[in-house]
Chain A
């Protein structure tokens, strides 16, 4: 229910800098995802917000008011811990009821809320279990999630909350998070290393790497307009295809040449040419932006098919284009033979140009 602002947040453990000068404004009543690989600093950021860690430098504001001086028990945030952190000496019921008891709610109200959330997370039948550490991983995760969601805090902090759930429950939880956010107008900060989950859940996504903010934007912006090579490769599966090579001007046209392929990219010419340092570029194109054909097409490149990986509604085709290994996503099923000759047509409007020196996406 509050806007959360991180200002130049920095936290290190000894010589390892976990969060490095992170500045981020998380809007009120929004679901913001911190996306990044393991060790990116997501958990540290979340723990700084909840107050269990204090940052070395920087400030954390709830609605423009610094909360750095407030201890965790006065910040009124609810946090889901990646390790679940269930109280092993309390029953499942008491675990979920614990944060409510600390806030002095009446017994009846606690009972009602605990049962309601337990039903929603399908752990009602587990409420009487004495020792939560004997539950399965998925069950423990749901108990921990219940303990977090049973409250109505200023901010929800969710650190990889659905990593151990089965597919069906994941879907439902994602819906539940979005509903909480929309209906109850809650502010949620959600950390995950899974880009698909991030795209599904997030209204805004902050991509973090080595404690540094890489890009902050809507899922569309992150997916279609990555700012650098890291974001481009981290988001998307199968990963974006990258062709490394030289930029050459032949006559009046601009040509990419590398890995045994020559592609005319004159139509992409623009301001980025001035920003480019050197004459090496990386040409990046998402697997769904390549058209595949078994017959020769106008302006298509010949490639050697390697394998097809059917996913049901689509198929990933891996092939060799020159010396590069390229992945292509096609609708429906497609069977290919190993070594079969296929033709690839690149949707040139969707091509990204990356400067290999700065790793910045130029186009």
Chain B
């Protein structure tokens, strides 16, 4: 039995009831915006704007169809404008998916190899290098935004998938290295030594012996990296135009053109948020481990 559950048991029923009520209230506060977003996605435009807010209505999937279909909406029929959002939301999803998976794959490959080397071989200056790697995250992103914009323009990386992938890889590498190193550090050295004596060469020890032992750590790391990149807004806004635009920027850029179509935005957000929620539930136990990784032991 865990310590927490024992503490709860000792409380009086009244106190426990209060505690549960408090927990439920806090949960509701946190979950309300998400639920409201789901609800709005299933409402027509007039329903979304109705006052007092509708809590019972006939749900419609119209918004979900509209974000993908190239079909004039009511507003466009009136105004004659074309909403950026409406034209091919699948492109933005595709961009987000490519950029996220590409940068995470790259960061994982480089980060895991670097972390293993630091952990296993401890080259001279490991601590300094580890700090240096971390320090690249200590600068506010906005400070480098303008120079990077010009670099990207000059190098032809502006508005490309590879451009965003490279940038996000750089953002994620310190996380990948630090987290993976802490997991590799936990492997007892004698297991790796045993593998050597048993006839395994170093590179094989890495993928046959070390890597399988940090799979849960790898899952936690992947979770963190995805959260970092999936929601990234600033650089995606600065460095892309339509063809490489990711979903967060696309959502934001719908506002203010012809008023706000909350139903469409909510539908887009819902589709965008679902993978993240599913992922976090799947990786829940690993993420928790990842969050506490620094508190158990140092570098």
* A interface residues with partner B (beta carbon < 8 Å): 47, 50-52, 71-73, 75, 77-79, 81, 83, 85-89, 98-99, 102-103, 147
How big is chain B's contact interface, by range? 10 to 19
Residues of B contacting A51 with CB < 8 Å? 196-197
CA distance A103 to B152 in the complex (A): 51
8 interchain pairs, CB-CB under 8 A = A47-B193, A50-B193, A50-B197, A87-B195, A87-B209, A89-B215, A102-B199, A102-B200
Q: Are B196 and A83 in contact (CB under 8 A)?
A: no
Q: Are B191 and A85 in contact (CB under 8 A)?
A: yes
Report which residue of B194, B209, B213 has the largest number of chain A beta carbons within 10 angstroms of its beta carbon. B194
Residues of B contacting A52 with CB < 8 Å? 193, 196-197
Q: Are A88 and B197 in contact (CB under 8 A)?
A: no
Q: Are A147 and B198 in contact (CB under 8 A)?
A: yes
Which chain B residues (124-183) contact chain A, with CB distance < 8 Å?
none
CA distance A245 to B212 in the complex (A): 63
CA distance A50 to B212 in the complex (A): 25
* Chain B interface main SS type: helix
Residues of A contacting B74 with CB < 8 Å? none
CA distance A43 to B193 in the complex (A): 13
Q: Does chain A have a CB within 8 A of B188?
A: yes
State whether A85 and B194 are in contact (beta carbons under 8 Å apart), knowing that A73-B200, A99-B199, A102-B199 are contacts in the complex: yes
Residues of A contacting B212 with CB < 8 Å? 89
Question: Knowing that A73-B196, A79-B197 are A-B contacts, what are 7 other residue pairs whose CB atoms are under 8 Å apart, sorted by A's residue number?
Answer: A51-B196, A71-B196, A72-B193, A78-B197, A81-B194, A85-B190, A147-B194
Contact of A73 among B199, B209, B213 (CB under 8 A): B199
CA distance A117 to B173 in the complex (A): 46
CA distance A51 to B188 in the complex (A): 17
CB distance from B96 to the nearest CB of A (A): 34
Q: Does chain A have a CB within 8 A of B201?
A: yes
CA distance A79 to B199 in the complex (A): 11
CB distance from B286 to the nearest CB of A (A): 16
CA distance A52 to B197 in the complex (A): 7
CA distance A322 to B131 in the complex (A): 67
Residues of A contacting B190 with CB < 8 Å? 81, 83, 85
CB distance from B183 to the nearest CB of A (A): 13
Q: Are B199 and A85 in contact (CB under 8 A)?
A: no
Residues of A contacting B201 with CB < 8 Å? 73
Residues of A contacting B196 with CB < 8 Å? 51-52, 71-73
CB distance from A249 to the nearest CB of B (A): 58
5 pairs of A and B residues whose beta carbons are closest in the complex:
A102-B199, A99-B198, A85-B194, A52-B193, A85-B190
Residues of B contacting A73 with CB < 8 Å? 196-201
Residues of A contacting B191 with CB < 8 Å? 85-88
Residues of A contacting B188 with CB < 8 Å? 83, 85
B197-226 vs A: 1/0 string, CB under 8 Å?
111110000000100110100000000000
Q: A90: nearest residue on chain B (CB-CB)? A: B212
Q: Are A77 and B197 in contact (CB under 8 A)?
A: yes
Residues of B contacting A50 with CB < 8 Å? 193, 197
Residues of B contacting A72 with CB < 8 Å? 193, 196-197
CA distance A51 to B196 in the complex (A): 9
Residues of B contacting A102 with CB < 8 Å? 198-200
Residues of B contacting A78 with CB < 8 Å? 197-198
Q: B195: nearest residue on chain A (CB-CB)? A: A87
Contact of B199 among A47, A89, A103 (CB under 8 A): A103
Report which residue of B188, B191, B193, B198 has the largest number of chain A beta carbons within 10 angstroms of its beta carbon. B198
CB distance from A73 to the nearest CB of B (A): 5
CA distance A302 to B71 in the complex (A): 116
Q: A159: nearest residue on chain B (CB-CB)? A: B190
CA distance A135 to B195 in the complex (A): 20
Q: B190: nearest residue on chain A (CB-CB)? A: A85
Q: B212: nearest residue on chain A (CB-CB)? A: A89
Q: Are B193 and A89 in contact (CB under 8 A)?
A: no
CA distance A89 to B196 in the complex (A): 16
